[in-house]
Structure 1
Amino acid sequence: MFRSTCFTFALLACSTLPSVAGGRFAANDTDFLNLMGNHEGYRGYGTVSDYAPVLPDREVERMTIGEILAYQERIRAMGTRSSAVGRYQFIHETLSDLVEEEEVSPNLVFDEEVQTYLARFLMEDCGFYDTEAEIAALGNCLAGRWAALPMLSGPQKGLSAHEGDGLNHASIAPETFLAVLESRFTW
């Protein structure tokens, strides 16, 4: 597992993406990415929300981030209930914010590598790569990002942070989620 994680980091460091040198994303994040990605974008990197009124003109993984954002704007204008795309189900607002805040080029192809790289920014924002992060707070923050994840504490413990919106519910057991978070620094 450590080997595949290091290989992934090596690919990212050698790609056209901004540098991840200095261990910015240093942790065993593969188990979390797989757990969350398999529930969020269960059809893989080309997943488009079931609520989208139309599909994009071509495969999501072959479109640029700019093209994805334009597609999302188009379906939002059509009144879609969700603009989520990709394995990690990026909604328009989140993807747009990542492009702006992390200075990600909208010309990058929204392929497997880029989707994973973008998910890591959201994970980092919650403290995933911080060895001192309190697990329940980390889990709750991640659950706020991805609806399939359950809250780990508070009145919504075991439920999605987005429960009751008519679209989302937690599909992962809290114990499973907790175990993956607790193992993120074991090699």
Structure 2
Amino acid sequence: MVRILWLALGLAVGAGMARAELNSLFPRSNAAPETATRASLFAPDARIGFFAPLPERTAPRVAAPIIGTAHVDQLLSLIARAESGSAGYDAVQHGARVRPVQLPTQMTLGEIYRWIDDTPGQPHAIGRYQFIPPTLRRVARVRGFGPETQFTPGVQDALALVLLEDAGLSQFQAGALERRQFMHNLARIWAGLPLPNSQSYYEGHAGNSAAMSWVAFDGGMARIWPVGG
């Protein structure tokens, strides 16, 4: 009888320890995952941007891309000067007659897509890097960002990096692409950036014009990447 009691007591203690282990291994925290808080690539002006913000909600955690390196950060800031100006991540193309009801950084991509679909016949460039609808949808697919993804600064930056790679960023940094050609490629993506004649690659198309001179663009690139990159 005594052996049976000791055995029962041992089982009860073991079960209690197992529960304690489970509780310590799997805490009951309901904290939402961190959301990215960085900058993006398009802003509000025919020469500035393509996106709008989404309402507050939990956004999926996004793996940090190559943003954070001084050169890339400075390049993104240089592009933003021409595209979104002081509006930054919350820029919306100035020609949009019907603007989003929320700031772009407070919106989800799905809400931005709905705003675009519900307001045909007007410009929809949005965000720090002035993403236009086809570009926004494409780079979001590349990044794997679904409609529930919030259009945060970090998400905008990650989307802009896709465009930087389209322009040849990796080749340029590796010395396989000349700086002048890289700048030309960037100007083909962002209408606010100039060609050597200080005009936009899309000069006069849909009201586009360069938002900075070639001297300013070239000087900015030389400060970021001295001696040709």
Same-fold call, TM > 0.5?
yes
Q: Does 1:17 align with 2:58?
A: no
1:125 matched residue in structure 2: 166
What is the alpha-carbon distance in structure 1 between the residues aligned to residue 69 and residue 212 of structure 2? 24
* Matched letter for residue 96 of structure 1: R
User: Pick from 145, 163, 170: which aligns with 2:203?
Assistant: 163
User: Pick from 144, 147, 165: which aligns with 1:106?
Assistant: 147
1:136 matched residue in structure 2: 180
What is the alpha-carbon distance in structure 1 between the residues aligned to residue 115 and residue 37 of structure 2? 28
Change (3 A) 1:19 1:113: closer
Which of 1 and 2 has higher RCO (CA within 8 Å, sep 6+)? 2
Alpha carbons 2:91, 2:128 under 8 Å: kept: yes
Q: Whose radius of gyration is greater, 1 or 2?
A: 2
Segments of 5+ residues of structure 1 without an aligned counterpart are 1-9
Aligned residues: 166
* Matched letter for residue 181 of structure 1: M
Alpha carbons 1:39, 1:171 under 8 Å: kept: yes
Alpha carbons 1:45, 1:112 under 8 Å: kept: yes
Alpha carbons 1:44, 1:87 under 8 Å: kept: yes
What is the RMSD computed on CA atoms of the aligned residues?
A: 2.4
Residue 134 of structure 1 and its aligned partner are, at CA, apart by 1.5
User: Pick from 220, 225, 229: which aligns with 1:180?
Assistant: 220
2:71 matched residue in structure 1: 28
Superposition misfits of 4+ residues, deviation over 6 angstroms? none
Segments of 5+ residues of structure 2 without an aligned counterpart are 1-35, 39-59
User: Pick from 74, 77, 88: which aligns with 2:129?
Assistant: 88
Alpha carbons 2:91, 2:130 under 8 Å: kept: yes
| TM-score, length-scaled by structure 1 | 0.78
* Aligned pairs (5 A) from 1:71-86: 71-75=115-119, 77=120, 79-80=121-122, 82-86=123-127
